[in-house]
């Protein structure tokens, strides 16, 4: 189905492109609105520690069902490390992990909500995010509203804030935090009034 040829970009084909293709196929068939459309690949590490996770978001609604909040969709079914284990094995603190209320698109059947995850670093590291749907909304179907795009934010220990694009690599120091707000799923059908 896809046959990219040089110099076509092929990085993250399994993790990001596959998400978009699956949403396009489901949408073309009218089966369901777009899900979060990304795996929110988040990595951090230094010469001693290395960590990689994919982060859940909202799934799209369908013709007779709402989307689901805070789930991995399509090509990923990984589980996040328990907060206690994450903080025991790595020099980080999980400051926030909550449902991102209102991020799923409205409709007769509402799209699932994404999440907000904030990690604080206790030592200097390099952190990176590879994520989609930071500019293009996850589409709704049959009159359903789109889900909200995701947002990546770097909070420095001195209180300054900088938005991060969908693909970013940054040096972090003790007290710095990265907050990842994942996309919601699209809604399905016109909301009855």
- CB neighbour list of residue 41: distance below 8 Å, 6 or more residues apart: 12, 15, 16, 52, 53, 54, 128, 129, 130, 131
Instruction: Give 10-residue mean pLDDT values along the chain (193 residues).
Output: 83 82 95 96 97 95 97 81 94 98 98 98 98 96 98 98 97 98 98 73
Task: Please report whether residue 100 resides in a domain.
Answer: yes
Domain membership flag for residue 192: no
Radius of gyration of the chain (CA): 17
Cβ count within 10 A of residue 4: 10
Instruction: State how many domains the chain has.
Output: 1
Q: Are 57 and 70 in contact (CB under 8 A)?
A: yes
Containing structural domain, residue 79: 13-181
| Per-residue pLDDT, 193 | 62
Task: Identify any residues that bridge with 53 across adjacent strands, giving them in sequence order.
Answer: 42
Does 188 fall in a domain? no
Q: Give me the pLDDT at residue 80, please.
A: 81
Return the closest-CA partner of residue 141 out of 56, 19, 24, 16.
Answer: 24
Q: What is the pLDDT of residue 8?
A: 83
**Residue 3 is assigned to a structural domain of this protein:** no
Query: What pLDDT is recorded for position 2?
Result: 79
pLDDT given at position 146 = 98
For residue 139, is it within any domain? yes
């Amino acid at each position: 189905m896809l046959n990219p040829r040089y110099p076509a970009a092929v990085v993250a084909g399994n993790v990001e492109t596959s998400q978009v293709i699956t949403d396009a196929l489901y949408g073309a068939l009218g089966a369901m609105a777009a899900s979060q459309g990304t795996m929110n690949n988040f990595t951090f590490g230094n010469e001693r520690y290395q960590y990689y996770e994919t982060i859940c978001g909202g799934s799209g609604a369908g013709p007779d069902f709402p989307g689901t909040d805070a789930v991995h969709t399509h090509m990923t079914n990984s589980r996040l490390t328990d907060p206690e284990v994450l903080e025991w094995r790595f020099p980080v603190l999980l400051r926030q992990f909550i449902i991102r209320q209102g991020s799923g698109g409205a409709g007769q059947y509402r799209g699932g909500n994404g999440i907000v995850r904030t990690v604080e670093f206790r030592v200097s590291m390099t952190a990176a995010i590879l994520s989609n749907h930071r500019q293009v909304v996850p589409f709704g179907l049959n009159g359903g509203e789109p889900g909200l795009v995701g947002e990546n934010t770097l909070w420095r220990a001195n209180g300054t804030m900088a938005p991060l694009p969908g693909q970013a690599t940054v040096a972090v120091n003790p007290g710095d935090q990265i907050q990842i707000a994942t996309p919601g799923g699209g809604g399905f059908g016109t909301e009855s009034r």
